[in-house]
């Protein structure tokens, strides 16, 4: 029994090592509105495992920090400065539909979970499931630039981290760029 289990483990490990690649990378973002002084910082590390030329499994981990200053002119009750901190976990399966030289067109089937906490409020949760199209461009032997835009699916968000509802959405707010390294 031990010999059979050990042989199966060796075969599985050698098969995975021969055709698969691990990758790591992510995205950073910072935005400040000059008029309202609203600030947003995001960091989204991502790791994955390329099973073969068409299938990849991965996960995105996100941290978001939104700060809105106190309203200075004619403030109403509740117009104090607020900070919202959000954490996201979005595992995905990526299907690469087209490869042409250094360019790959793909779509991610993703399930996203997030929790957010705003100053003086209870934590709130968000959920989404759907597809995100994207493109990957090889920048060299191991470095890749990846861009996503749009979302087709369903989202339920209590705090606006995701857009509520069902549908297809392409906007500049959904456009993301990242750099990745394949091992």
Q: 95-151, pLDDT tens digit by residue?
A: 999 999 999 999 999 999 999 888 878 888 999 999 999 999 999 989 999 999 888
Which residues contact residue 127 at a Cβ distance below 8 angstroms, ignoring those fewer than 6 apart? 111, 112, 113, 114, 155, 156, 157, 162
Region 156-162: mean pLDDT is 73
Tell me if 40 sits within 8 A of 15, measured CB to CB. Answer: no
Residues 45-81 have pLDDT tens digits of 999 999 999 999 999 999 999 888 765 565 555 556 7
pLDDT attached to residue 73: 62
- Please report which confidence band the pLDDT of residue 12 belongs to, taking 50, 70 and 90 as the band edges: very low
pTM: 0.79
Mention every residue, 6+ apart, whose C-beta is less than 8 A from residue 167: 152
Where is 141: in which H helix or E strand? none
Can you say whether the dihedral through the CA atoms of 157, 163, 168, 174 is positive or negative?
negative
29-39: string of b/e by CB count within 10 Å (b at 16+)? eeeeeeeeeee
Q: Do 108 and 134 contact (CB within 8 A), yes or no? A: yes
Taken in order of first residue, the domains within the chain and their CATH numbers are: 21-182 (2.40.160.20)
Which pLDDT band holds residue 168 (cuts at 50, 70, 90)? confident
Which segment of 38-42, 54-58, 141-145, 173-177 scores lowest on mean pLDDT? 173-177
Look at residue 36 and tell me whether its pLDDT is greater than 90: no
Q: How confident is the model at residue 171 (pLDDT cuts 50, 70, 90)?
A: confident
């Amino acid at each position: 029994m031990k010999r059979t289990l050990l042989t199966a483990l060796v075969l599985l490990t050698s098969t995975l090592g021969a055709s698969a690649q691990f990758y790591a990378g992510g995205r950073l973002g910072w935005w400040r509105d000059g008029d309202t002084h609203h600030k947003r910082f995001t960091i989204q590390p991502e790791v994955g495992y390329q099973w073969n030329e068409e299938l990849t499994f991965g996960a995105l981990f996100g941290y978001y920090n939104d700060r809105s200053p106190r309203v200075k002119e004619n403030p109403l009750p509740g117009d104090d400065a607020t900070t919202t901190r959000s954490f996201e976990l979005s595992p995905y399966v990526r299907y690469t539909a087209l490869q042409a030289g250094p360019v790959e067109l793909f779509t991610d089937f993703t399930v996203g979970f997030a929790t957010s906490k705003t100053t003086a409020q209870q934590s709130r949760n968000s959920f989404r499931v759907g597809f995100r199209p994207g493109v990957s461009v090889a920048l060299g032997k191991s470095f890749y630039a990846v861009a996503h835009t749009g979302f087709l699916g369903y989202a339920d968000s209590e705090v606006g981290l995701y857009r509520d509802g069902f549908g297809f959405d392409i906007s500049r707010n959904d456009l993301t760029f990242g750099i990745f390294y394949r091992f």
